[in-house]
Amino acid sequence: MPCRWWAGVLFLVASSIFFFRVRWSASSTLGKQLDKALFSGDSGALCVSFIYLLTSKSLYMNMSEDLQRPVTPEELEELEDFLLSDKTSENSMTLDMLDGYLTSVVIGPQPLMPEEWMPYVWGLDDDPDPEFESEKEAERIIGILLRYSNTIADVFVADPDSWLPLFEQCSYPEEEDRMIAIESWAYAFVLGIELVSDEWKPMFEDDDASGLMLPIFILGRIDDNLEVAAEDELDEWVDALPEAVSGIYEYWLARRYKNA
């Protein structure tokens, strides 16, 4: 997906990026990529380079202290309004979908960079980019997205057992609305798996660990054969979800330490 709409936001910090660029080795792949972006006007390359910088551990404290602040309910409402507005495509994620998608991204087998997961927040490959009114709005919305991802990750790092999906933290006017939110959350979690499906294979090939995915597949109606069970036992599967997701997090965390 093109990064045309990132260009204005990213050039606002071009001077800061240049400061770090001169400290890299000339043989650095990322350094060469950033050179090309800054001096050829390639906004797509600059998009990738800047987001990599923004989330790089070595530069995290220097460049992105603001990204460590948890998102507030008001900011999530602002993000939801943007996702549902005419500024985004009809295939953009809802907030419930985004919560499931980002949960999958942050607890999975490997850390994913924003340029890997963020394009699909806005829709499919052939959908148009969001239409931000200004560079300030683009910076604001992208910042909330990145902080939301970090906020979810922080919950698992601090206390995995305290995690709850967004739909369990909200109220809905009708039961049908709640059902849609639950299904959307679980379906989007699976979309997150699809980003790096090969890396998820060890879990699906593990007889014990693969069972942790069952509540998600049932609630997301991933298999038509499971649809009746979801309707008959919805509350039971919803209650099972936090423990299952926490188990998925612990499974991949253990493998990360083992392979470190």
Predicted local confidence at residue 235, as pLDDT: 86
Predicted local confidence at residue 63, as pLDDT: 37
SS3 200: helix
Per-residue pLDDT band at 111 (split at 50, 70, 90): confident
Provide mean pLDDT across the span 107-128. 92
Q: What percent of the chain has pLDDT over 90?
A: 59
* Superfamily of chain region 66-259: YgfB uncharacterised protein family PF03695 (1.20.120.740)
Predicted local confidence at residue 34, as pLDDT: 39
Predicted local confidence at residue 224, as pLDDT: 65
In the predicted model, is pLDDT for residue 213 greater than 90?
yes
Of residues 190 and 222, the one with the higher pLDDT is 190
Query: Who's near 134: CB < 8 A, 6+ residues apart?
Result: none
| Arithmetic mean of pLDDT over the chain | 78
Q: Which of 70, 240, 35 lies closest to 143 in space, CA to CA?
A: 70
Give the pLDDT confidence of 5-57 residue by residue, as tens digits: 333 333 333 333 333 322 233 333 334 443 443 333 444 444 444 444 444 44
A 10 A CB-CB count for 225 gives 7
Query: Who's near 89: CB < 8 A, 6+ residues apart?
Result: 122, 123, 124, 127, 128, 130
Predicted local confidence at residue 126, as pLDDT: 87
A 10 A CB-CB count for 244 gives 17
**Cβ–Cβ under 8 Å, residues 156 and 29:** no
Give the pLDDT confidence of 147-166 residue by residue, as tens digits: 999 999 999 999 999 999 99
In the predicted model, is pLDDT for residue 58 greater than 80?
no
Per-residue pLDDT band at 211 (split at 50, 70, 90): very high
Give the pLDDT confidence of 64-84 residue by residue, as tens digits: 557 889 999 999 999 999 999
User: What is the DSSP code string of 38-51?
Assistant: HHH--HHHHHHHHH
Residue that has been written with the tokens 């942790």 in this structure: 212
Provide mean pLDDT across the span 217-226. 77
Provide mean pLDDT across the span 96-118. 95
Predicted local confidence at residue 204, as pLDDT: 94
Instruction: Calculate ∠ Cα 188-193-197, nearest 5°.
Output: 150
Of residues 168 and 37, the one with the higher pLDDT is 168
In the predicted model, is pLDDT for residue 107 greater than 80?
yes
Distances (CA, A) of 84 to 90, 92, 103, 205, 241: 8, 8, 20, 38, 26
Residue type, 90: E
Can you give the residue ranges of every domain in the chain? 1-63, 66-259
Write down the H helix ranges in 41-112.
43-55, 57-63, 73-83, 95-107
Residue that has been written with the tokens 């409402």 in this structure: 77
Structure tokens at 238: 């919803």
SS3 179: helix
In the predicted model, is pLDDT for residue 3 greater than 80?
no
